[in-house]
């Protein structure tokens, strides 16, 4: 908990060095200058507008979010049943709650999961497919477009997004 003192403490070795390297006759004046410089730094630090140590716990509290209208289990059910996906979307189970999904227009198959804990463990190789994630938004937009064109495949996904 150094707070505002951190910049001052970082500069102290140079102040001590400058005072110690003076000629013997001039060292007393060097010490006085070092003390004066430190006092100026302390005064400037006290006048600073922001102090990390003064931030309250209330300032650090995360915002409250509304619960998702779609649960991970809902997304897994949709990914597991090709009839619920928009036309042209290819999805295959890879095991351990992961899926390989190829969306029309995407260059490669994406490896996804709807399990946040699994994503946390493998974020370098998985995308998280939860409500309002980029991959969910793409799937929902495709489903809504297909529904508007009269194709009822993907209806469940489009209804999830419209809730």
What does the pLDDT read at residue 55?
A: 62
Alpha helix positions (H), the chain: 5-20, 27-46, 57-60, 72-80, 116-121, 134-148, 155-162
Asked if residues 18 and 31 have their Cβ atoms less than 8 Å apart, the reply is no
What does the pLDDT read at residue 43?
A: 81
Alpha helix positions (H), 21-99: 27-46, 57-60, 72-80
Give, for all 163 residues of the chain, the pLDDT tens digit.
Answer: 456 677 777 887 887 787 778 887 787 888 888 888 888 888 877 776 565 666 666 566 777 777 888 888 989 998 988 888 888 889 999 988 999 999 888 889 999 999 999 999 999 999 998 888 888 888 888 778 777 776 555 445 545 444 4
What does the pLDDT read at residue 158?
A: 46
What does the pLDDT read at residue 63?
A: 72
pTM above 0.85, yes or no: no
What does the pLDDT read at residue 65?
A: 74
């Amino acid at each position: 908990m150094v707070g505002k003192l951190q910049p001052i403490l970082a500069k102290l070795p140079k102040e001590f060095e400058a005072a110690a390297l003076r000629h013997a006759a001039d060292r007393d004046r060097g010490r006085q200058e070092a003390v004066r410089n430190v006092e100026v730094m302390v005064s400037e630090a006290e006048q600073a507008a922001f102090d990390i140590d003064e931030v309250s716990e209330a300032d650090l509290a995360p915002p409250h979010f509304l619960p998702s209208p779609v649960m991970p289990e809902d997304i897994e059910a949709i990914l597991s049943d090709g009839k619920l996906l928009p036309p042209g979307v290819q999805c295959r189970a890879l095991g351990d709650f992961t899926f390989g999904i190829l969306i029309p227009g995407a260059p490669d198959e994406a490896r996804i999961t709807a399990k946040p804990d699994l994503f946390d463990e493998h974020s370098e190789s998985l995308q998280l497919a939860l409500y309002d994630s980029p991959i969910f938004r793409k799937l929902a937009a495709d489903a809504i477009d297909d529904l508007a064109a009269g194709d009822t495949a993907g209806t469940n996904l489009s209804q999830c997004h419209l809730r």
